[in-house]
Amino acid sequence: MQRYGLIGHPLKHSQSRHFFNAKFEYEGLDCVYQHFDLKSVDEIHEVLATYPDLCGFNVTIPYKEAIIPLLDEIDDMAKEVGAVNVVKITAGKLKGFNTDVYGFEQLLNRAINGKAIGHALVLGTGGASKAVQYVLRQKGIPYSTVSRSAERGGYTYDTLTDEIIRQNLLIINTTPLGMAPRTEDFPDLHYQALSNKHVLIDLIYNPKETSFMELGKTWGAKVYNGMQMFEEQAKKTWEIFSGQ
């Protein structure tokens, strides 16, 4: 049997285990996928020692950057992105990849549908944000980041104004704000400055409609959750794991 998994903390929101185990059962594959809720990324050493049959694992919040120093090798694109969400294990060696880029690109294509979108705001500066920024650069879409700390560059939430929101027709939430079980949370934006010209993308897929999305809809924006991104990156993940 081949074992795969997901590392991160917390993991209650994730549907990765259900997605892959349903796939394995449907395709008659002798594989299993499980969650490893790690309070520290260094606990991956214990996981590897406990499960010598582990062939690979996905990486989610908050370890997409922290896992990199623990790898033996990293794919060129993942290195350029600066974040890893897939690790393949071959003969005991760990190699990192990034399939978030592919997943987000598919979601973005659907959301903007070829329209000129102008400038974008990326909420958050973590590992998922880095994949989003990579895609925006590849597509030539100028953007600014928004974070809680001025040390990370870009805007902070308290420096955002109505005018900044009006000028940025694409707003992407890469933070965990609004993720189950804390579904009442949402990024602190000037939602009243949104219009029907705006597109809001939330990388969260559980719940299907976050408070961020609900507020966007209230003011006329088109909204998209992260389910398509999750499914597309998962398919690409399996291509890496299986070598297909």
From the candidates 12, 23, 64, 235, give the one annotated as an active-site residue.
Answer: 64
Structural domains of the chain ordered from first start = 2-98 (3.40.50.10860), 101-228 (3.40.50.720)
pLDDT score for 238: 98
Specify whether the CB–CB gap between 107 and 84 falls below 8 A: no
pLDDT at 87: 99
Rounded to two decimals, what is the model's pTM?
0.95
Cα–Cα distance, 178 to 185 (Å, whole number): 4
- pLDDT of 191 reads 98
E-strand stretches of the chain: 2-8, 31-37, 54-59, 73-74, 86-90, 93-97, 119-123, 143-147, 155-156, 168-173, 199-202, 222-224
Give strand ranges (E) for 107-194: 119-123, 143-147, 155-156, 168-173
Question: Is 64 tagged catalytic?
Answer: yes
pLDDT tens for each residue of the chain, 244 residues long: 999 999 999 998 899 999 999 999 999 999 999 999 999 999 999 999 999 999 999 999 999 999 999 999 999 999 999 999 999 999 999 999 999 999 999 999 999 998 888 999 999 999 999 999 999 999 999 999 999 887 667 899 999 999 999 999 999 999 999 999 899 999 999 999 999 999 999 999 999 999 999 999 999 999 999 999 999 999 999 999 999 7
Confidence at residue 52, expressed as pLDDT on a 0 to 100 scale: 97
Distance CA 122, CA 128 (A): 10
Do 84 and 96 form a contact (C-beta atoms < 8 A)? yes
Pair of tokens at residue 78 = 């993942």
How do 2-8 and 143-147 pair as beta strands?
unpaired
Q: Which residue has the tokens 């582990």?
A: 54
